[in-house]
Homo-oligomer: A and B are copies of this chain.
Amino acid sequence: MTEIYENPPRNEWPRLCTRPAMDLHATEQVVQRIMDKVRVEGDTALYQLTKNLDGVDLSELFVKEEEFREADELVSDELKAAISLASRNIRLYHQQQMEDGKFIETMAGVRCWQKRVAIPKVGLYVPGGSAPLFSTVLMLTIPAVLAACQEIILCTPPPVHPAIIYAARLNGVSRILKVGGAQAIAALTLGTESVPKVDKIFGPGNRYVTLAKQLATGYGVAIDMPAGPSEVLVIADEKANAGFIAADLLAQAEHGADSQVILLCTEPTLIEQVLHRIKIVLPDLNRKESILSALKQSRFIVFPDLHTALDFSNTYAPEHLILNVQDPSHLVDGIRNAGSVFLGPFSPESVGDYASGPNHTLPTNGYARNYSGLSVSSFQKDIFFQQITEQGLQNIGPAVVAMSRAEQLQAHGLAVEVRLQRLKEED
């Protein structure tokens, strides 16, 4: 069911690094029609589309106070405790990311610094579907609230699960729009009577949501990152436990039929053991079909040593990288492209998916080469500042005038000269 390779030559690596194809073209017309409808009809379009596409007849667009109270009763104490523990860890981790730029006087009297300021209005998308993804609620609301965004709108398709409502309120977000799909992204992008137009949209989604986010960028809205199916790459040494590896691969595969799992190891027999463990465990899992589809596009590769395996991993640029090796410290410095890395035998990805602290919204599809996972700074921008004193302008002015002349930008020089002239007159 899985492709197996032994020490493939480097010229074959690019082919082995291909992801399952994602064709957004077919959905483009549908999504554009939804965007147009929301632009013209506003809230009315949201009610209608939610009825037609989700089969839910909303009486109001936002979650009401009453529903927050209900959620508080419906979520079990065990789950509340788990969500609370995870929220605490995620908040602690993200607080460490908050940092203002340092002040520096680059020359006497030339004072420069930068300041991290919240993006005013943000939209957070939490997918619906078969299970309530309250972990995504934590990963989006916690950095948005820490960043101090003025307006935070969370969108998710109805019916909204109590655990989502609970997790949002717990972390300080109470504006939950009961609208999902491309229509939610359209509302955030264009604004309606009740939904404010936002500056940046975050969160995962199906291909309609993904395409709508792409189109949103044409309207001046920023998005967190390009989306693609989730993936894991496991590097295992000869001492790795086949049962641990099998479970990690299955955990990734159950995300969806388009997930990709890659296993790199130095020991051919380990592959047999892992496949054997998968066969034993699979029948008891609730998402067998997704898992089987995902495993079909997975790849198990034997390499002569761990450093060659890491080279391959850097070429693949995985969203999640698990180093299931006895001593990962030898490999850490060589990691060039990855979203989130799990070190050692007792660091399963699922701990990071839920509760350890770092964000689980990560670059997929090879984008770990050129994008970071979400952090507090994703909800902020840096504003640069400079204040030049009179003495500072005398120090730096002549260089600016010389450069502006060479770039044939006379007025640039003039802006310095009129000031230097004035200082001379004052003397």
Contact = CB atoms under 8 A, between A and B. Distances in A.
Interface of A: 78-79, 81-83, 85-86, 88-89, 92-93, 96-97, 99, 101-102, 104, 106-107, 110, 112, 114, 117-120, 130-135, 163, 199-200, 217, 220-222, 226, 241, 243-244, 247-248, 250-251, 253-255, 281, 284-287, 291, 328, 332, 335-359, 362-363, 365-373, 375, 381-390, 392-393, 396-400, 402-404, 406-419, 422
26 contacts: A79-B402, A83-B403, A89-B110, A104-B357, A110-B356, A117-B337, A120-B369, A134-B407, A222-B370, A241-B422, A244-B415, A244-B419, A251-B409, A251-B415, A254-B409, A254-B412, A287-B408, A287-B411, A342-B388, A344-B388, A346-B390, A346-B393, A351-B388, A351-B396, A351-B397, A354-B400
Nearest to A352: B386
Contact of A384 (B106, B285, B340): B340
A254 B248 CA distance: 59
Given A199-B370, A386-B342, A407 B132 contact: yes
B358 A384 contact: yes
A243 B89 contact: no
Copies in the complex: 2
A141 to B, nearest CB: 15
Given A101-B97, A335-B117, A400-B350, A135 B407 contact: yes
Nearest to A333: B115
B110 A104 contact: no
